[in-house]
Amino acid sequence: MKKIPYGKHWIDEEDINAVIKVLRGDWITQGPAIDKFENAIANYVGIRYAVAFNSGTAALHGAMFAAGLSKHDALITSPISFVATSNSLIYLGGKPIFVDIDIDTYCIDLGVIESAITEETKTIVPVDYAGYPVDLKQLREIADDNNLIIIEDAAHAIGAKRYGKMVGLEADMTMFSFHPVKHITTGEGGIIVTNNLDYYEKLKIFRSHGITKDPKRLTIENEGSWYYEMQYLGYNYRITDIQSALGLSQLKKLDTFITRRGEIAKKYDQAFRDIPNLKIPPHPPYPNSLHAYHIYPLLIYKHDRKMVFNKLKQEGIICQVHYIPIHLHPFYKNKFGLKQGDFPFAEDFYNHEITIPLYPLMTDDEIELVIEKIFAVLK
Ligand SMILES: Cc1ncc(COP(=O)(O)O)c(C=O)c1O
């Protein structure tokens, strides 16, 4: 039976050749492809700096470090995200404060954030769930009024726009992920983009053990050209030239991928929009916006979600659920005293959500098949 997964990378001969070229060259890691990839992403977004990591998770961890956060600090984020969003500060000893989602956006409820801010809160981490760009204008006002840094988790939203501005331009730091189900891939990988030179320098140091060779940062002069210093506790979070070559090649196709994702979402919208007990994902209401459709979350009411999920699976339509609310994971319950009932909108969303297949390689026939099977299962 033909299987249609919920997401899939698109690697072509050009990508393969780009990787082979690096494998035949002098550098397979820490060579020129990394800078090229970082510059290309910065240019795409229209921002000054980009620092690539070996995962989006590592990139978020780096952003928390660069922002100077530690065990005394807290971040505010949405429970409807992947655990990496909030784990990124827990790695540094800090703690997460969750704010429920807005059922009109599936993202953090901007109207509730201020009441959740405490003395410890240093950053807000909006998650552009599914590729829906969170309203950063409103969020910026809240952040500025409360002296908070915005670290945007745009793992789902490279190429998305609001008010005609590319996601990545408005937060203090923004993370994009290059995991294979994302818009473009480097196998594993992620990146932080920022306009802030201090963040940029700290991100670079953090991804390589906390080590620097930069003469203006060294505490000792003229020790020798081999000399470097470890100044912070960093990690080996380096991306390779092999991965960066793949990313560079993929980036050339990003706009085509996003366009195709939009076309598929439109077909689903048309099919499901007027069907009772189904809810299609929200469209950003602000002018000149673009939803990046990393995934297509369909909400299903009056039917047992598990039954629908399993029957579709039997028919070869392999869906997913995004996400188990973070506060319901045992680690979070035990460590932070969180519990069922804490965030009712997120929990209700989770109970009804299924992520149906959406990836640029999907053919029109496959889209039709998914729609047909969903209708058949719901009958
Ligand atoms: C919202 C969100 N944040 C963070 C991450 C972590 O990214 P990565 O898988 O590249 O480490 C992901 C990846 O699934 C994600 O979806």
Classify residue 6: in a domain, yes or no. no
For residue 146, CA distances in Å to 88, 107, 210, 298 come to 21, 20, 30, 35
Question: Whole-angstrom Cα distance, residue 237 to residue 153?
Answer: 18
Taking only the tens place, the pLDDT of each residue in 291-338 is 999 999 999 999 999 999 999 999 999 999 999 999 999 999 999 999
Nearest Cα neighbor of 46 from 165, 150, 163 is 165
**Helices 305-314 and 364-378 meet at what angle, rounded to 10?**
130
Pair 140, 198 in one domain: yes
- CA of 212 from ligand 1 middle (Å) equals 27
Overall pTM > 0.85:
yes
Nearest-atom number in ligand 1 for the CA of 294 is: 16
Residue ending a domain, among 207, 228, 251, is: 251
**Helices 32-45 and 241-251 meet at what angle, rounded to 10?**
30
Are 356 and 317 spatial neighbours (Cβ–Cβ below 8 Å)?
yes
Pair 114, 156 in one domain: yes
**Residue ranges of the chain whose pLDDT lies below 70:** none
Classify residue 3: in a domain, yes or no. no
Pair 81, 202 in one domain: yes
What angle is formed at CA 87 by the lines to CA 345 and CA 107, rounded to 5 degrees?
Answer: 30
Question: Whole-angstrom Cα distance, residue 230 to residue 79?
Answer: 36
Residue with tokens 């070559």: 245
Classify residue 4: in a domain, yes or no. no
Nearest-atom number in ligand 1 for the CA of 58 is: 11
Pair 192, 62 in one domain: yes
Residue with tokens 């331009």: 169
pLDDT of amino acid 223? 87
Give nearest CA residue, ligand 1 atom 8: 56
Q: Which residues line ligand 1 (CB under 6 A)?
A: 55-57, 81-82, 84-85, 127, 153, 155-156, 177, 179, 190
Classify residue 7: in a domain, yes or no. no
DSSP for 134-203, written as a single string: P-HHHHHHHHHHTT-EEEEE-TT-TT-EETTEETTSSSSEEEEE--TTSSS--SS-EEEEES-HHHHHHH
Pair 194, 147 in one domain: yes
Question: Whole-angstrom Cα distance, residue 249 to residue 256?
Answer: 13
- CA of 73 from ligand 1 middle (Å) equals 22
Pair 147, 87 in one domain: yes
Q: Is residue 353 helix, strand or coil?
A: strand
Pair 93, 203 in one domain: yes
* Identity of residue 78: S
Question: Whole-angstrom Cα distance, residue 243 to residue 193?
Answer: 18
Q: Please report, for the domain that includes residue 75, its CATH number.
A: 3.40.640.10
Pair 202, 78 in one domain: yes
Q: Please report, for the domain that includes residue 356, its CATH number.
A: 3.90.1150.10
Q: Which of 77, 106, 177 to mutate to test the pocket of ligand 1 (most atoms within 8 A of CB)?
A: 177
Pair 219, 279 in one domain: no
Give nearest CA residue, ligand 1 atom 7: 56
Pair 229, 275 in one domain: no
pLDDT of amino acid 221? 83
SS3 content of the chain, % helix, strand, coil (to 5): 40, 15, 45
Residue ending a domain, among 196, 227, 251, is: 251
Q: Tokens for 40, please give them.
A: 């290309």
Classify residue 5: in a domain, yes or no. no
**Domain region containing 239:** 13-251
Residue ending a domain, among 217, 251, 285, is: 251
Nearest Cα neighbor of 91 from 117, 65, 121, 116 is 65
Which residue blocks in 233-343 are alpha helix, DSSP H?
241-251, 254-272, 305-314, 330-336
Question: Whole-angstrom Cα distance, residue 118 to residue 97?
Answer: 9
Pair 309, 189 in one domain: no
Q: Identify the sign of the CA torsion 345, 80, 115, 138.
A: negative
Q: Which of 86, 101, 106, 179 to mutate to test the pocket of ligand 1 (most atoms within 8 A of CB)?
A: 179
SS (H, E, C) 3-27: CECCCCCCCCHHHHHHHHHHHCCCC
Pair 239, 302 in one domain: no
- CA of 372 from ligand 1 middle (Å) equals 31
Number of domains in the chain: 2
Residue with tokens 């997460």: 96
Are 354 and 305 spatial neighbours (Cβ–Cβ below 8 Å)?
yes
